[in-house]
Amino acid sequence: MLDYASIPESERIIVALDCDERRARELAEQLVGRATWLKIGMTLFYQAGPTMVANLKDMGFKIFVDLKLHDIPHQVKGAAQSVALSGADMITMHSCGGLDMMKAALEGISELQLETNPITLGITVLTSMSQEDLTSIGVNRPMKEQVEALALLAQKAGLDGVVASPQEAQGLRSLLGDNAAIVTPGVRPLGAALGDQTRVATPRKAFDAGASHLVIGRPITEADVPVRAFDEIVKGL
């Protein structure tokens, strides 16, 4: 298991390229030598495909392919194989897809016999969702209980960790142990706009709460000078 605490925090910031291909390439060129990780989400992956993963890896980045897989086990097994073959270093799937679905994803990746498997993460509750949103879809548990239940299910399936808000990170660290990956979106430097995020924290607070990696997008990618914004976040750690 990877000891995340041994890796400098600056190397555990994942810059989210939630934009089109042209802008993503511009940002990547600016962040070479600064950022270690970049995230490719649905917008970019559906436009540029697996080639984008290979191109960014050729530039020296580690790549988090965040497609939040969620389908029947057979489909997710094949999808996980495809994403892993793209060269992804980290991938996601929805924990609410169930135990069999997550196990199928891991089985598919294992069958590839890659030299290094991607870090596998289970999505708990999206950081854009509030307690009211959970209730509206029929989930009556308190947010904390729902997140922890899905995190334990992901761990039972054999995933390497979870995606959750910074507000749940401390409890998840105690629940899942020191070696679990806990990747937190919804991270905003002081003074940054919240956008569509509801459960947020500053980078320092997220790491202190037990996050292994932070996903930060718009505060960097929409800044006037993205490299400067990235450097300011690192400086504040």
Please give the positions annotated as active site: 68
**Which secondary structure element, helix H or strand E, spans residue 182, and what is its range?**
strand 181-184
**Cβ neighbours, 10 Å, residue 228:** 12
Residues 6 or more apart whose CB falls under 8 angstroms from that of 223 comprise 229
Find where tokens 């392919």 sit: 65
Question: Which residue in 182, 152, 150 sits closest to 164, CA to CA?
Answer: 182
Query: CB–CB of 164/124 below 8 Å?
Result: yes
**Given the structure tokens 């596998």, which residue do they identify?**
120
Distance separating alpha carbons of residues 235 and 230, to the nearest angstrom: 9
| Separation between Cα atoms, residue 222 and residue 159, nearest integer Å | 32
Tell me how far apart the alpha carbons of residues 44 and 92 are, in angstroms, rounded to a whole number: 15
- Give dist(CA 62, CA 53) in Å, integer: 9
* DSSP-based helix, strand, coil % in the chain, nearest 5: 50, 15, 35
Neighbouring C-beta atoms of residue 171, cutoff 10 Å: 16
